[in-house]
Amino acid sequence: MTALLESDQSSHQYAELAIQQVKDLRRCIDYLDTRPDIDGSKLAYYGFSSGGAFGGIIPAVEGRLKVSVLIAAGIGLVGRPEVNEINYVSRVKIPTLILNGKYDTTFPVETSSKPMFDLLGTRAQDKRLKLYETDHDPPRNEIIKETLAWLDRYLGPIK
Protein backbone atom coordinates (compact mmCIF):
# COMPACT_ATOMS: atom_id res chain seq x y z
CA MET A 1 0.00 0.00 0.00
CA THR A 2 3.03 2.28 0.20
CA ALA A 3 2.79 2.91 -3.54
CA LEU A 4 -0.66 4.34 -2.96
CA LEU A 5 0.63 7.01 -0.59
CA GLU A 6 3.28 8.05 -3.08
CA SER A 7 0.94 8.44 -6.06
CA ASP A 8 -1.47 11.15 -7.13
CA GLN A 9 -4.68 10.16 -5.36
CA SER A 10 -6.84 12.02 -7.89
CA SER A 11 -5.54 9.99 -10.83
CA HIS A 12 -7.24 7.10 -12.59
CA GLN A 13 -4.04 5.12 -12.04
CA TYR A 14 -4.38 5.50 -8.26
CA ALA A 15 -8.04 4.46 -8.41
CA GLU A 16 -7.24 1.38 -10.48
CA LEU A 17 -4.41 0.35 -8.16
CA ALA A 18 -6.61 0.82 -5.07
CA ILE A 19 -9.44 -1.20 -6.63
CA GLN A 20 -6.98 -3.96 -7.58
CA GLN A 21 -5.65 -4.12 -4.02
CA VAL A 22 -9.17 -4.51 -2.64
CA LYS A 23 -9.82 -7.29 -5.18
CA ASP A 24 -6.58 -8.99 -4.15
CA LEU A 25 -7.58 -8.92 -0.50
CA ARG A 26 -10.96 -10.44 -1.39
CA ARG A 27 -9.21 -13.21 -3.35
CA CYS A 28 -7.07 -13.93 -0.30
CA ILE A 29 -10.22 -14.36 1.77
CA ASP A 30 -11.65 -16.63 -0.95
CA TYR A 31 -8.54 -18.78 -0.57
CA LEU A 32 -8.75 -18.80 3.23
CA ASP A 33 -12.34 -20.05 2.91
CA THR A 34 -11.00 -23.18 1.19
CA ARG A 35 -8.68 -24.03 4.09
CA PRO A 36 -10.07 -26.44 6.71
CA ASP A 37 -7.57 -25.11 9.28
CA ILE A 38 -8.86 -21.52 9.04
CA ASP A 39 -12.07 -20.42 10.74
CA GLY A 40 -13.57 -18.12 8.12
CA SER A 41 -16.12 -16.83 10.61
CA LYS A 42 -13.35 -15.11 12.60
CA LEU A 43 -11.53 -12.92 10.11
CA ALA A 44 -10.20 -9.51 11.10
CA TYR A 45 -8.95 -6.58 9.06
CA TYR A 46 -5.70 -5.01 10.31
CA GLY A 47 -4.43 -1.91 8.57
CA PHE A 48 -1.54 0.45 9.27
CA SER A 49 -1.22 3.94 7.75
CA SER A 50 -2.57 3.72 4.18
CA GLY A 51 -3.88 0.27 5.15
CA GLY A 52 -5.61 2.00 8.05
CA ALA A 53 -7.21 4.47 5.68
CA PHE A 54 -8.41 1.51 3.61
CA GLY A 55 -10.12 0.37 6.81
CA GLY A 56 -12.73 2.94 5.87
CA ILE A 57 -13.39 1.09 2.60
CA ILE A 58 -12.53 -2.62 2.81
CA PRO A 59 -14.84 -3.60 5.71
CA ALA A 60 -17.65 -1.76 3.91
CA VAL A 61 -17.33 -3.92 0.79
CA GLU A 62 -16.11 -7.21 2.28
CA GLY A 63 -18.78 -8.76 4.48
CA ARG A 64 -16.70 -11.70 5.66
CA LEU A 65 -14.63 -9.50 7.98
CA LYS A 66 -15.90 -9.53 11.56
CA VAL A 67 -13.67 -6.99 13.31
CA SER A 68 -11.20 -4.26 12.38
CA VAL A 69 -8.05 -2.77 13.90
CA LEU A 70 -6.73 0.41 12.30
CA ILE A 71 -3.36 1.88 13.25
CA ALA A 72 -2.35 5.42 12.23
CA ALA A 73 -5.56 5.73 10.25
CA GLY A 74 -7.88 8.42 9.03
CA ILE A 75 -9.82 9.71 6.08
CA GLY A 76 -8.34 11.93 3.43
CA LEU A 77 -10.77 14.11 1.56
CA VAL A 78 -8.96 13.67 -1.74
CA GLY A 79 -9.13 11.25 -4.58
CA ARG A 80 -11.67 9.92 -6.99
CA PRO A 81 -15.10 9.11 -5.53
CA GLU A 82 -14.79 5.37 -6.20
CA VAL A 83 -11.81 5.12 -3.82
CA ASN A 84 -12.47 7.92 -1.34
CA GLU A 85 -13.03 6.66 2.21
CA ILE A 86 -15.66 9.32 2.86
CA ASN A 87 -18.01 7.45 0.50
CA TYR A 88 -17.66 4.13 2.36
CA VAL A 89 -16.85 4.70 6.03
CA SER A 90 -20.47 5.05 7.18
CA ARG A 91 -21.13 1.57 5.75
CA VAL A 92 -18.51 -0.02 8.00
CA LYS A 93 -20.59 -1.78 10.67
CA ILE A 94 -18.09 -4.16 12.29
CA PRO A 95 -16.37 -3.47 15.63
CA THR A 96 -13.46 -1.11 14.93
CA LEU A 97 -10.49 -0.07 17.03
CA ILE A 98 -8.44 2.94 15.89
CA LEU A 99 -5.05 3.64 17.49
CA ASN A 100 -3.44 6.94 16.47
CA GLY A 101 -0.83 9.43 17.58
CA LYS A 102 -2.06 12.83 18.78
CA TYR A 103 0.59 14.57 16.69
CA ASP A 104 0.19 12.62 13.46
CA THR A 105 0.66 14.91 10.47
CA THR A 106 -0.42 12.27 7.92
CA PHE A 107 -3.82 11.76 9.58
CA PRO A 108 -4.35 14.71 11.96
CA VAL A 109 -6.74 13.91 14.81
CA GLU A 110 -9.26 16.73 14.30
CA THR A 111 -9.43 16.63 10.51
CA SER A 112 -8.85 12.96 9.72
CA SER A 113 -8.84 10.26 12.41
CA LYS A 114 -11.65 11.70 14.58
CA PRO A 115 -13.93 12.30 11.57
CA MET A 116 -13.26 8.71 10.42
CA PHE A 117 -14.17 7.45 13.88
CA ASP A 118 -17.31 9.61 14.07
CA LEU A 119 -18.50 8.58 10.58
CA LEU A 120 -18.10 4.83 11.15
CA GLY A 121 -21.45 3.07 10.89
CA THR A 122 -20.41 0.84 13.79
CA ARG A 123 -22.48 0.99 16.99
CA ALA A 124 -20.96 3.36 19.57
CA GLN A 125 -20.21 0.56 22.04
CA ASP A 126 -18.33 -1.38 19.34
CA LYS A 127 -15.89 1.31 18.23
CA ARG A 128 -12.99 2.93 20.01
CA LEU A 129 -10.47 5.65 19.20
CA LYS A 130 -7.37 5.67 21.40
CA LEU A 131 -4.78 8.41 21.07
CA TYR A 132 -1.14 8.34 22.16
CA GLU A 133 1.42 11.07 22.82
CA THR A 134 3.22 10.24 19.57
CA ASP A 135 3.34 11.17 15.92
CA HIS A 136 2.25 8.74 13.17
CA ASP A 137 3.38 5.55 14.94
CA PRO A 138 1.72 4.62 18.25
CA PRO A 139 3.93 2.66 20.67
CA ARG A 140 4.45 -0.92 19.48
CA ASN A 141 3.75 -2.49 22.88
CA GLU A 142 0.46 -0.59 23.07
CA ILE A 143 -0.51 -1.67 19.56
CA ILE A 144 0.08 -5.31 20.47
CA LYS A 145 -1.72 -5.10 23.83
CA GLU A 146 -4.77 -3.21 22.51
CA THR A 147 -5.04 -5.30 19.32
CA LEU A 148 -4.95 -8.62 21.15
CA ALA A 149 -7.51 -7.43 23.70
CA TRP A 150 -9.82 -6.17 20.91
CA LEU A 151 -9.57 -9.39 18.91
CA ASP A 152 -10.13 -11.52 22.03
CA ARG A 153 -13.19 -9.44 22.87
CA TYR A 154 -14.84 -9.86 19.46
CA LEU A 155 -13.44 -13.12 18.13
CA GLY A 156 -12.69 -14.95 21.35
CA PRO A 157 -9.32 -16.08 22.64
CA ILE A 158 -7.15 -18.24 20.40
CA LYS A 159 -7.48 -21.95 21.08
Per-residue pLDDT, 8? 78
Query: Strand 96-101 to strand 65-71: parallel, antiparallel, or no bridges (unpaired)?
Result: parallel
Range of the domain at 51: 2-155
pLDDT on residue 107: 95
The arithmetic mean of pLDDT across residues 34-57, rounded, is: 95
In sequence order, the β-bridge partners of residue 130 are: 99
CATH for 104: 3.40.50.1820
Global confidence as pTM: 0.92
Q: What is the pLDDT of residue 6?
A: 52
**pLDDT over 80 (residue 5):** no
d(CA 105, CA 88): 23
Give the pLDDT confidence of 70-112 residue by residue, as tens digits: 999 999 867 789 999 999 999 999 999 999 999 999 999 999 9
Q: How many domains are contained in the chain?
A: 1
